[in-house]
Structure 1
């Protein structure tokens, strides 16, 4: 099971979270990554935790003011990137371009989508993984695996029907070890979460509770 902690733009200490994630990953053997703001990528990567960008743009070097260049993200120490998060939606052509840009820079890719139909379309673009995240449940107290387990199961089936090599992650409302275990039982090989760790008073304790059932 892979756990990816998205720090979004929350007012947390990215180094505290990254250090906690590194230590819990080392102690438990569970793969944990942290996705900070672009400005914090290098500092987070220096902690030794697996580091992911929150976004990359579908362009290469050139006149692209304000863009997040995949090569720059990789140079800062990122090993992967989210694409098309529900809070950073892209057009289909740009999702395709962002995947290609990330692959060019040697980054792993995870394309987020709202539902199983979109998961199938995203998987067809050839990312390393996809994540099903119903927008209505993001940031809430109920996980998608509990609120509507059929969405997770259908997403796993939709991705497998297109490409068996594309991993399926589960996001939205994940906050406990029980949520993580349930996601795994439904066929997900990873989870995305944010507030459950980023807003926690004790990020390490929050992460330990997530990996405990694993």
Structure 2
């Protein structure tokens, strides 16, 4: 199971969370990654934790003020990137461009989608992984695996009909080991979470509880 922690723009200490994640990953043998703000990528990568970007732009070097270059993200130490998170929605053409830019920079990719039909659509673009995240459950503490388990199973099926080599991650409301175990039982190969770790008083304890479900 892959655990990807998105720090969003929460007022947490990204280095402290990264150090906690690195410790838990080393102690348990679990693949744990952290996606901080772009400005914190280098500091997070320096902890030794697997580091991901929250977004990259589908452009190359040039007149693109405000864009996040995939190559710059890779230079900062990231090995992967999210695309199309529900808080950073993209059109299919922009997702495709982002995937191509990430591929050129050697970055692994997770493309987010709201529901099973969208999962199928983005799987066709060739990401390394997809994540199903019903936006109404994000940040609620109510995991999709409990609120609507059919969404997870249908997302896995939708991806499989297009390319059964693309794993599906489960997002939205994930915070405990029970949540992770439920996601796994529904066919997910990992989880994407944020507030359950980023807002925790003790991120290491939160992560240890989370991976206890593996």
Q: Which runs of 5+ in 2 are unaligned?
A: none
SS of equivalent to 1:111? strand
Could you tell me which residue of structure 2 aligns to residue 76 of structure 1?
Answer: 76
CA apart distance, 1:141: 1.6
Could you tell me which residue of structure 1 aligns to residue 208 of structure 2?
Answer: 208
What is the RMSD of the two structures over their aligned residues, measured on CA atoms? 0.4
Structure 1 residues 7-53: Cα deviation after superposition (integer angstroms, max 9, x where no partner): 00000000000000000000001100000000000000000000000
CA apart distance, 1:165: 1.2
Could you tell me which residue of structure 2 aligns to residue 156 of structure 1?
Answer: 156
CA apart distance, 1:213: 2.4
Could you tell me which residue of structure 2 aligns to residue 37 of structure 1?
Answer: 37
Q: Which runs of 5+ in 1 are unaligned?
A: none
Task: Give the Cα separation in 1 of the matches to 2:15 and 2:131.
Answer: 25
Q: So what's the TM-score if we normalise by structure 1?
A: 0.99
Could you tell me which residue of structure 2 aligns to residue 16 of structure 1?
Answer: 16
Task: Give the Cα separation in 1 of the matches to 2:161 and 2:42.
Answer: 37
Q: So what's the TM-score if we normalise by structure 2?
A: 0.99
> Within the alignment, does 1:171 sit opposite 2:171 as a pair?
yes
Task: Give the Cα separation in 1 of the matches to 2:14 and 2:79.
Answer: 17
Task: Give the Cα separation in 1 of the matches to 2:213 and 2:154.
Answer: 24
Could you tell me which residue of structure 2 aligns to residue 140 of structure 1?
Answer: 140
Task: Give the Cα separation in 2 of the matches to 1:169 and 1:211.
Answer: 15
Task: Give the Cα separation in 2 of the matches to 1:187 and 1:141.
Answer: 21
- In the alignment of these two chains, the number of paired residues is 214
1:49-88 matches, cutoff 5 A: 49-88=49-88
> Within the alignment, does 1:112 sit opposite 2:112 as a pair?
yes
SS of equivalent to 2:85? coil
Task: Give the Cα separation in 1 of the matches to 2:213 and 2:114.
Answer: 27
SS of equivalent to 1:59? coil
Task: Give the Cα separation in 2 of the matches to 1:135 and 1:208.
Answer: 26
Could you tell me which residue of structure 2 aligns to residue 28 of structure 1?
Answer: 28
